[in-house]
Amino acid sequence: MTYTVGYIVGSLSQKSINRKLALALTRLAPPELHLTEIPIGELPLYSHDHDHDYPAVAQEFKDAIKASDALLFITPEYNRSIPGALKNAIDWATRPYGANVLNGKPSAIIGTSPGPISTAVAQQHLKTILSFTNAPVLGQPEAYIHFTKGLIDDEGAIQVPATAEFLTGYMRAFTEHIRRHHDISHL
């Protein structure tokens, strides 16, 4: 079975190292996964005032999540948390009350940073948020990728064999996570 995985890059920068990681993951994904980006850059700031007159861009965003079998969050760490744009996207995905498209959606979190602890704190914060939205998150393996110069080339090829092997295993584990939750939801 093939699964459609929507991926959300938490950085708005087109030159983001997390965007490079996203490209690498699309190359390493097993054939059962079809990855497609769900962009967040055009979403306005969420306000309850929009709930009765939902902007088209926000509805398109929610529709893309609904059409996905699973979600992959690829996030940098900003000030020991997730970027504001990513939190804003999650707010749009879960509003108005009762219209949470993250509910039950198998998810995984990964990120990269030049810092030695990478995106560990942001990922823990994101796990807390996604837990509240009832999106089952892959627990293991955790993937805090320490970005070094030359780790990923411009075409998304991982240049360090051990990192490529780890990320290939991560994507296999994510596939199993999706399969388990998909099988349960279709009983």
pLDDT per residue over 133-159, tens digit each? 999 999 999 999 999 999 999 999 999
**How high is the mean pLDDT of the chain?**
95
Average pLDDT on 47-54 reads 92
pLDDT at 182: 84
* Token pair in block for residue 152: 């990923």
Q: Answer yes or no: pTM beyond 0.85.
A: yes
| Burial tier of 5 (Cβ tally within 10 Å: 0-12, 13-18, 19+) | buried
What was the pLDDT predicted at 187? 47
Q: How confident is the model over 22-42, as pLDDT tens digits?
A: 999 999 999 999 999 999 999
Average pLDDT value for residue range 166-172: 98
